[in-house]
Amino acid sequence: MARDWSSRESALPVAIAQFLAREGDKAGNVERALALIDGAAAGGARLVVLPELFTGLGYADATSYRTEIAEPIPGPTFDALAGRARRHGLYLTGSYYERDGDRFYNAAPFIGPDGRLLGVYRKTHLFDVPDRVDIPPGIVESRKVSPGDRLCAFDTPWGRIGLTICVDLRFAEVYRTLALDGCRAIICVSAFLSPRLDHWEFLLRARATDNQLWLIAGGQVGTDPASGIAFAGRSMTVDPWGVITAQASDAETLVATTLDLGLVAAVRGRWDLIGQRRPELYRPAPAARAAE
């Protein structure tokens, strides 16, 4: 049965910061992010979403991600973000390389309007594609970072909001689990690659439609001159019917819009997909199991 969200606030002003993180310029990337946060706050945003790996991609070589970019959470970049969240009274997230002892993660802190760390989501599904002919010579993210071991969602005045990173989008179970956990919206911070721009749009629309909730998806845009890898951009918000309600152009920009979170209950009330699930059927058929 769908949860009753009628007591929650409905109008959520959001802004998605879309830009390209320049290799070898961590300080400049952070300053660019802070300036975009200031612009989003000036426009009234209460939630600001930065891209995946916004402090630096670390794609051009095998070591800079850990020697020059990665840092603990909390750490200097977190402190800068928390200061902006506190100054403007907004929620804030985006991912960067986290160093935790001798391990590294692609991690997204979720920061509250008082600057407090509400939690950290470590990317659970890593981008390991050594044989993709459209991304020569392939990418194996697990050579750099470890996978996280749990999904994350956070309570806000607008209800529960889930947090995912990039390739998580290709795993429907992630989004269904967050929906069953009561999420009204799910954030996807990304550096989605441009050869699969078509996948970016239809996966976002499918995840929103299947789970009857909002998707807030932001990413990097343009071509990284150091590695030659290009990113899709097209940051967007998608409503519970799968309709794109705001979308970025193919440039560095801010996408600002207001989400009607009340639409979640309205759509689920018209067709209760969550309530009509039959989990007892969702397992391999007996013949398939016997053949394994």
Contact, 126 vs 167, CB < 8 A?
yes
User: Is residue 228 within 8 Å of 254, Cβ to Cβ?
Assistant: no
Type of residue found at 128: D
Q: Residue 148 in contact with residue 123, Cβ under 8 Å?
A: yes
What's the pLDDT score for residue 7?
43
Give the bridge partners for 120, in sequence order. Answer: 109
Determine the Cα–Cα distance for residues 84 and 47; give it in Å rounded to an integer: 12
| 148, two tokens | 């996280």
Q: Are 12 and 46 in contact (CB under 8 A)?
A: yes
pLDDT tens track of the chain, all 292 residues?
333 434 467 999 999 999 999 999 999 999 999 999 999 999 999 999 999 999 999 988 889 999 999 999 999 999 999 999 999 999 999 999 999 999 999 999 999 999 999 999 999 999 998 887 777 677 899 999 999 999 999 999 999 999 999 999 999 999 999 999 999 999 999 999 988 889 999 999 999 999 999 999 999 999 999 888 899 999 999 999 999 999 999 999 999 999 999 999 999 999 999 999 999 999 887 765 555 5
CATH of segment(s) 11-276: 3.60.110.10
Q: Please give the DSSP secondary-structure letter assigned to residue 73.
A: S
Residues labelled as active-site residues: 52, 123, 166
pLDDT at 252: 96
Contact 55, 6 (CB under 8 A): no
- Over residues 47-98, the pLDDT tens digits come to 999 999 999 999 888 899 999 999 999 999 999 999 999 999 999 999 999 9
Report the pLDDT value the prediction gives residue 8, as an integer from 0 to 100: 60
* Structural domain spans, the chain: 11-276
**Backbone phi, then psi, for 11, in 5-degree steps?**
-90, 115
Contact 167, 125 (CB under 8 A): yes
From residue 267, alpha-carbon distances to 50, 96, 99, 204, 240 in Å are 28, 35, 41, 17, 7
Neighbours of 104 (CB within 10 A): 19
Return the DSSP state at 194.
G
CA distance 39 to 29: 15
